[in-house]
Amino acid sequence: MLCHITQRLASIRATIPAGVTLVCVSKFHPAEAIMEAYQCGERDFGESRVQELLSKYETLPKDIRWHFIGHLQTNKVKQIVPFVHLIHSVDSLRLLEVINREAEKIQRRVKVLLEIHVAREDTKSGFSPKDYTSLITHSSSLITNYPWVEVCGVMGMATNTDDQAEWRRCFREIKALASKLSTLNTKQISMGMSDDYLVAIEEGSNMVRIGSTIFGSRGSTPENNRIPESRIPTQKK
């Protein structure tokens, strides 16, 4: 498996313009795979389970910027607040409140993204556009009420489909909603994964979360972990 990671990263990097952050989604993959990406110069890695993140944080280089990208339970917030670089998945006021409280305890301001749900799937999390708009209508209250949380932008996902028009609809809606946060001087728009990140970048994403195209599918072996050529992106002419 490891012999392919460097090659895949080079192919992906060639398609990502300057100013767009690549988060290597390393969930379910071993430390050895992360270290190969690290040795290629990558420093931003994404995890979705607290216990797996804690284990990797303890054993891997401390200059890694850990992104939490999965659903975060409020009772586990205190475990990652001391070191997490960015929490992408703030999907409720309750979670925002808990992050703020735990961050205050250790006097460390924590960076977060507000997750917006625009996909046509009930299984995905996030604020509805209506609830999100209500939350930020008085954006100054986000600073006043949650002083230990720094809202840096938004995160969202497109509907799980092969329809690129639907991807674009989702990404355009996320981008439009992100623009409403301008009074907070926010910058991050985290959208786009292995299959749809090129479209996401075209629609305004400046942070993409790519896992399987770099590391292969979870649970795969070195013998069967080759990515089909059709899934390896090529740079546009």
DSSP lists the bridge partners of residue 152 as none
What pLDDT score does 187 carry?
Answer: 87
- pLDDT tens-place string over residues 45-76: 999 999 999 999 999 999 999 999 999 999 99
- pLDDT tens-place string over residues 119-135: 998 777 899 999 999 98
Report long-range pairs for 162-170 (Cβ below 8 Å, ≥24 apart): 164/196, 164/199, 166/120, 167/196, 167/199, 167/200, 168/199, 168/203, 169/118, 170/118, 170/119
CA-CA-CA-CA dihedral for 14, 17, 19, 21, to nearest 10: -50
- pLDDT tens-place string over residues 14-56: 999 999 999 999 999 999 999 999 999 999 999 999 999 999 9
> Regarding the domain delimited by 2-215, which CATH topology (the fold level of the hierarchy) does it fall under?
TIM Barrel (3.20.20)
CB of 117 closer than 8 Å to CB of 144: no
Per-residue confidence band for 165, with pLDDT thresholds at 50, 70 and 90: very high
Per-residue confidence band for 233, with pLDDT thresholds at 50, 70 and 90: low
CA-CA-CA-CA dihedral for 145, 148, 152, 154, to nearest 10: -60
Determine if the pTM surpasses 0.85.
yes
Instruction: Output 182 or 153, whichever has higher pLDDT.
Output: 153
